[in-house]
Amino acid sequence: MALHPLVNIGIRAARRAGNVIIRSLNRLESLEVSAKGRNDFVTDVDRNAEQEIIDTIRRAYPDHGILAEESGASGGGEFTWIIDPLDGTTNFLHGFPQFCVSIAVQHRGRLEHAVIYDPMRQELFTASRGQGAQLDDRRIRVSKCKGLEGALIGTGFPYRANTRWLDAYLGMFKAVALATAGLRRPGSAALDLAWVAAGRTDGFFELGLSPWDTAAGALLITEAGGRVGTLTGADYELGGDILAGTPKTYTALVELLAPHVPDDLRPAR
């Protein structure tokens, strides 16, 4: 199946950013690292990878809007590219091989295309609305998991300002740990979501994310037959808290987590 032209540009941009990241791995000690906040780091690799992505997009689509983690929003029009040039910066800084490039395209506010590239494994996840999801040109589907028993669930720990939810999160963690085969916290939300789409995990939940963390992964999961929403099962808006999984695992997680969701993350009545 031929890929959409926007996806092809996204792939080109993601691979170029991946090359920037991989070339930098052997000079981790000399990287310029600055703190955006407590335990929140940005490197010149993030910035250089992001610039590579933006330059690639701008050459092909100069009038499209961009929302990028490091440089923010620019441009306008009907199309917006949502970019995380290096999701998993803390992992990268430690040489922990779990990070990715995440690129999504919105058209008039609706997610239409997704590219997630894992430069360490050279795995490329892609999706277009209504066309399914692929890993290296092979169709992928969420797992056949039918609930929580035997399920492997991905998660992310609250950090930065989100530590205010840590106690509530630990309640969620305990409930899920007791009800499933196990929890995993690899450290890159975008890649975690891609792995749900590929059936490597059966579900995922995290609090306090940003649009560039989740945009591509959310479309991958829905195109792979899974469900994406908030911790309370409400419709998913980009950023914030996210819950995803196979249809039945998703439903079971909403029910399991309900008693633990902080009041400020519950929908107003």
The CATH number, out of the four listed (3.40.190.80, 3.40.640.10, 1.20.1050.10, 2.60.40.10), of the domain defined by the range 152-260: 3.40.190.80
Strands (E), 119-252: 123-128, 133-135, 138-140, 152-155, 182-184, 203-209, 227-229, 240-245
Chain-wide mean pLDDT for the chain? Answer: 94
- Residue 42's pLDDT band, with cuts at 50, 70 and 90, is low
Is the pLDDT at 34 greater than 80? The verdict is no
In the chain, what are the domain boundaries? 5-140, 152-260
Q: Are 215 and 102 in contact (CB under 8 A)?
A: yes
State pLDDT tens for residues 187-231.
Answer: 999 999 999 999 999 999 999 999 999 999 999 999 999 999 999
- Residue 74's pLDDT band, with cuts at 50, 70 and 90, is very high
Q: Which residues contact 80 (CB under 8 A, 6 or more apart)?
A: 64, 65, 66, 67, 105, 106
- Residue 125's pLDDT band, with cuts at 50, 70 and 90, is very high
- CATH code for the domain defined by 5-140: 3.30.540.10
The single-letter code of the amino acid at 267 is P
